[in-house]
Amino acid sequence: MRGDRRGSSAGSAGATPSWGEVREGGGAPLRVSAAHADPYRAIDRQPDPAQYVAFLEARGRTASQTRLRGRFLRFCGVRPGSNVLEVGTGTGVLARDVAAIVGRRGRVVAVDPSRVLVSAARRLAREQGLDGRIEFRVGEGARLRVPAGRFDVALAVTVLLHVPDAGAIVRELARVTRPGGVVGIQDQDLGSLVLDHPERALTRRILDGVAARTIVDPWSGRTLVGQLAAAGLTRVRLTTDVFQDTTLTPFTRSMLERRAENAVRFRLASARAAARWLETIERLAAERRFVMTLNFYGAAGIKPVTPGGPR
């Protein structure tokens, strides 16, 4: 078996997970003013916002994430000449892919509330020869300063799981999409993170407990179809990808290490139990018995030509 490869699923398959539970400033306390300690709610207030730039770029570069993005953009109907909005662009990983597809006849507007991320996104686009091809803006997904009906496609990828009112962002995506255009959203679902480990109760405590404390909605992936339907979109479709790792790739290893660290910080496990848990994972990998999978969900819907019209 090989790790980090496509697994079987309905529709399509396989991708590196979007590790939402990024380590908080190398162990420093999370800094968010809101009630939930999800660092992505307020990147610029984290002790070391630059680490998120590095993380998002590292994640975006992995082959399986690149494949995942390509499949999702095809699923959403992004094509040469499309006029596309991306909300929660981060460092612009997806926006750069979109710019390459839509070409000079198309248009890409990419929005994020973090000044640090938007500034990095501008620099990275410039460095990759996409200067002037993507319009990056600092802004909130639920309050876009864009007239209604402007875009052929409006997207948000691994954003909704980090926001307290995902519905408001989806409604805003729908507002700025032209009638007949597409709203596409994608999230992993951390409730579907499966790891074979003999200490099952401890595993659930670490995986679910840390996700619940560091991600606003760890189960966001499974809600996406409902989110689009609630925003009035029609012909809503779902595509499911499964990330699978059977070799404990460096990406997976660092994610599980962060989980274990955070489990200790949140008093979900003792330091000794967390260390033992990680040792077992290393042993399973050495014995070629490591198995971890995670579902990614992508949903797309059409903005009705007549509001409230037939579905």
Ligand X SMILES: C[S@@+](CC[C@H](N)C(=O)[O-])C[C@H]1O[C@@H](n2cnc3c(N)ncnc32)[C@H](O)[C@@H]1O
- The residues of the shown chain that bind ligand X, judged by CB under 6 A, are 20, 40-41, 43, 56, 60, 87-90, 93-94, 112-114, 117, 140-142, 157-159, 162-163, 169
C-beta of 43: minimal distance to ligand X in Å? 5
Q: Which two tokens stand for residue 132?
A: 């002037």
Give the up-direction half-sphere exposure of residue 205: CA atoms within 13 A in the CB hemisphere.
17
Between 10 and 34, whose beta carbon lies closer to ligand X?
34
C-beta of 175: minimal distance to ligand X in Å? 14
Between 88 and 284, whose beta carbon lies closer to ligand X?
88
- Please report, in angstroms and rounded to a whole number, the separation of the first and last CA atoms in the chain: 43
C-beta of 216: minimal distance to ligand X in Å? 9
C-beta of 53: minimal distance to ligand X in Å? 10
Between 112 and 189, whose beta carbon lies closer to ligand X?
112
Contact, 88 vs 151, CB < 8 A? no
Residue with tokens 């991708």: 15
Max CA distance (Å), the chain: 60
Between 40 and 297, whose beta carbon lies closer to ligand X?
40
The angle formed by the CA atoms of residues 86, 89 and 94, to the nearest 5 degrees, is 75
Q: What is the CA radius of gyration of the chain?
A: 19
C-beta of 214: minimal distance to ligand X in Å? 12
C-beta of 72: minimal distance to ligand X in Å? 10
Q: Which of 307, 311, 7 is nearest to 175 (CA)?
A: 307
Which helix (H) or strand (E) segment is 127 a member of? helix 115-127
Between 90 and 209, whose beta carbon lies closer to ligand X?
90
Between 151 and 290, whose beta carbon lies closer to ligand X?
151
Which residue sits closest to ligand X, CB atoms considered? 90
The alpha carbon of 142 is separated from its chain's Cα centroid by a whole number of angstroms, namely: 17
Tell me the β-bridge partners of 243.
Answer: 6, 294
C-beta of 112: minimal distance to ligand X in Å? 5
Between 22 and 195, whose beta carbon lies closer to ligand X?
22
d(CA 48, CA 246): 32
C-beta of 119: minimal distance to ligand X in Å? 12
Between 87 and 285, whose beta carbon lies closer to ligand X?
87
DSSP of 137-168? EE--TTS--S-TT-EEEEEEES-GGG-S-HHH
Q: Which of 157, 153, 91 is nearest to 128 (CA)?
A: 91
